[in-house]
Amino acid sequence: MVKDISKELQELLIQVGLKIAKRNDGAIFVVGKNVKHNPLVEQSVHSFKVASNPKLLESLALMDGAVIIDEDGMLVAYGTMLKSTRVYHNFGTRHSAAISASKTAELVVMVSEEDKKVRIFKAGKMIMQLDPLEKNVEKSIPAAVQILESVGAGTIGAIGTTILAPTLGIALLPGIVLFGSAYYVTKSIRKHFTKR
């Protein structure tokens, strides 16, 4: 469950992901211990708390393969091949690896090299997409993390580039798209307005 991961770690991964996307590179960050992976490179960098060295985290993410981080924010492995068990149609191998890993991981943050988007996966589903080219998207990161902590995979529908999440009392800025069931949004709006 995403709630077990600190807000700081989630924000850090999104921030680093946005930086990588702006450079036209790709990456995958996987948070969780139960993810099947095989190292593609010799693991010469020792485990460290990723929040203490975001530059090193970014450098490791730029290697081929995924970066695996435990729920406490410690580096587990980097430059790893994830086992893909599911094809993500109309997308490449990085997307397939991310959606497959998200079935057993707590959270997957993937940066697409092709379209420069940062996508967040949970429970085998893509639940959020951030556009690094949107003005001031970095200011939306705390709101995005609040959404990640407040809802499960597939509970909020795509409403375009701006979404109102009335039960949380926040409006996400342009640059963030949430995916899932539109039913939840309708139900949340009704609850919010019937309480007034």
> Which residue type is seen at 2?
V
Predicted pLDDT of residue 154: 43
Residue 116 and residue 90 in contact, taking contact as beta carbons nearer than 8 Å: no
Percent of the chain with pLDDT over 70: 74
Residue 175 and residue 141 in contact, taking contact as beta carbons nearer than 8 Å: no
pLDDT for residue 187 is more than 50: no
* Domain chopping of the chain, boundaries: 2-194
Q: Which residues contact 108 (CB under 8 A, 6 or more apart)?
A: 28, 29, 30, 31, 98, 99, 101, 102, 120, 121, 122
Q: How many helices (H) and strands (E) does the chain have?
A: 5, 10
Least confident of 14-28, 98-112, 141-155, 173-187: 173-187
pLDDT band (50, 70, 90) for residue 128: confident
Percent of the chain with pLDDT over 90: 46
Q: Average the pLDDT over 9-35 and give the result.
A: 95
Here the tokens at position 87 are: 């094809």
More confident of the two residues 14 and 145: 14
The residue among 4, 183, 134 whose CA lies nearest residue 191 is 183
pLDDT for residue 63 is more than 60: yes
Q: Average the pLDDT over 76-92 and give the result.
A: 82
Question: In which element (H, E) is residue 61 found?
Answer: helix 54-61
More confident of the two residues 4 and 26: 26
Predicted pLDDT of residue 143: 80
pLDDT for residue 12 is more than 90: yes
pLDDT for residue 17 is more than 90: yes
Q: What is the SS3 assignment for 129?
A: strand
pLDDT for residue 3 is more than 90: no
Here the tokens at position 104 are: 């057993």
CATH superfamily of the 2-194 domain: DNA integrity scanning protein, DisA, N-terminal domain (3.40.1700.10)
The residue among 177, 141, 172 whose CA lies nearest residue 158 is 177
pLDDT for residue 182 is more than 50: no
Strands of 27-31's sheet, edge to edge? Answer: 37-39, 75-82, 66-69, 27-31, 107-111, 118-122, 125-130, 176-178
